[in-house]
Structure 1
């Protein structure tokens, strides 16, 4: 004969299910959350705050990439790999005579890449990212576990997909989609939120990992357009970039421009620029060193900057250039 469960047994079973469900949810959340929150190592922020226009950057290493890199965008260094984002243009965008709705140009056509290399720059894997008109990867960030990659339409006021790529397994996860072109992203290690910058870095937005927008603000700085940003402990981001400015035309020409390269340290809480500086270093093809991929580390009062300003079809092709500087002198 079957016996009916007692009230105590039923309550015990219900409690077990509730605890198990909560634990499962916690495990699922932890699997998607970044590691390394609340780092107290502020050496990079401290050292960059000592950089001036007279700081001497010395080229110490050049790594030539021996595979097609197309138009490079962002760089990140994992424990075992170098990650480089790039866009392959199959059909260029074309400006409309007048805007059509929110768009000022055609979508064009292309393919987004996240190249995975060993520490010597040898290609190990080419991860293709994007959907439909969203084929333009931007600046990327590494949170200690994942590489975060925005892939946007190649036009302002459009849309983008935020991807999370596990730096060890190289598994790709489509995190969420957002309105507007976001050409760079940073993972805030303290909050676990993502911060992105729009076309020309004129605005920033903050989201949780589910894609809910938590804040949006205008960029108060106009020195350069940020191309590639990285999180800096604590609660800051360091961005490299470039802008094209007019200059006096040379004889016989109608106009002339030059590239102003630089970097900026930004407070993720106040949204203010703490320090921004021009960086007058140039690539083989004559581009500002901070034109596209940009990363920086600090050891003591020693800064190391890694950049890859040239496209695959320019000059000697893409090279990862390493510059070193000493601060506090």
Structure 2
């Protein structure tokens, strides 16, 4: 979805062309995200397209991507230890071919698949993480670009995450809709207890990772990030917050590049 924010213009073009030399330099920026230390990066050994989301299991990595050349949506699975490609599942649903930020909860992967336009439609797909078979689908009358799952509830962001929907899975309907408390266009979000941790872009060269109290839907913490390199069509990078983000305790993982992609691993300050 970072491509949605890309704006042409002479100054931006010069900036992007200049940044190509940075993107081509060996190794990542040693300090690309505030209050975080880069620990390493895992190269993914398989094809992904325009990356949309990242989820982690004990031994697996799941990534969503959209192939704009064929208008098809994909879920990719990789080995977490080696980055080796394992399998993939097509998620295309007619005019809905934009898979978004995804979430793992209780053995299920939740993936939104939406039309490629605002104020449209989406389906929230529950997928068995072990078999990659579809368990159920929930229709939503809006574009949904990311979703976080915890127990019987989901929080989903619409186009640029202007609105956040809280969905009761026992009824399959939204029970609350609130404005995004941040100016960041969230691309991926995860539950951490009662906190929602969400990452996304503020421009095509910067982004943030935010913490939101889900009881009040108020912003409690935010860290800023720059860019790994220019976005398409000049490159394959974007803000370090990435189109994919996952978190485990103080360990933050981001996926800022289209394929060939690397999962970057950070340790957050206490």
> Under a length normalisation based on structure 1, what TM-score does the superposition of the two structures give?
0.66
**Number of residue-to-residue matches in the alignment:** 232
Taking the aligned partners of 2:44 and 2:181, their CA distance within structure 1 comes to 36
Q: Does 1:305 align with 2:265?
A: no
Taking the aligned partners of 1:326 and 1:320, their CA distance within structure 2 comes to 19
**Structural RMSD (CA):** 2.0
Taking the aligned partners of 2:167 and 2:175, their CA distance within structure 1 comes to 5
- The structure having more radius of gyration, on CA atoms, is 1
Unaligned runs of 5+ in 1: 1-52, 92-109, 245-257
Q: Does 1:225 align with 2:185?
A: yes
Which of 159, 162, 165 lines up with 1:199 in the alignment?
A: 159
Q: Where has structure 1 moved over 3 Å in runs of 4 or more?
A: 53-56, 283-286
The alpha carbon displacement at 1:170 in A equals: 2.1
Contact 2:43 2:262 in 1 (8 A): yes
Unaligned runs of 5+ in 2: 1-31, 231-235
Deviations 1:263-313 (A, max 9, x none): 111111211111122124635955211121011222xxxx2211111112x
Deviations 1:198-223 (A, max 9, x none): 1011001122224222111111221x
Q: Does 1:78 align with 2:57?
A: yes
Structure with the largest fraction of strand: 2
Q: Does 1:175 align with 2:140?
A: no
Deviations 1:68-109 (A, max 9, x none): 211011111123311111111126xxxxxxxxxxxxxxxxxx
Which of 159, 162, 183 lines up with 2:124 in the alignment?
A: 162
Taking the aligned partners of 2:51 and 2:263, their CA distance within structure 1 comes to 11
Contact 1:175 1:211 in 2 (8 A): no
2:269 is matched with 326
Deviations 1:19-62 (A, max 9, x none): xxxxxxxxxxxxxxxxxxxxxxxxxxxxxxxxxx9954332222
Taking the aligned partners of 1:290 and 1:55, their CA distance within structure 2 comes to 11
Contact 2:102 2:110 in 1 (8 A): yes
1:264 is matched with 210
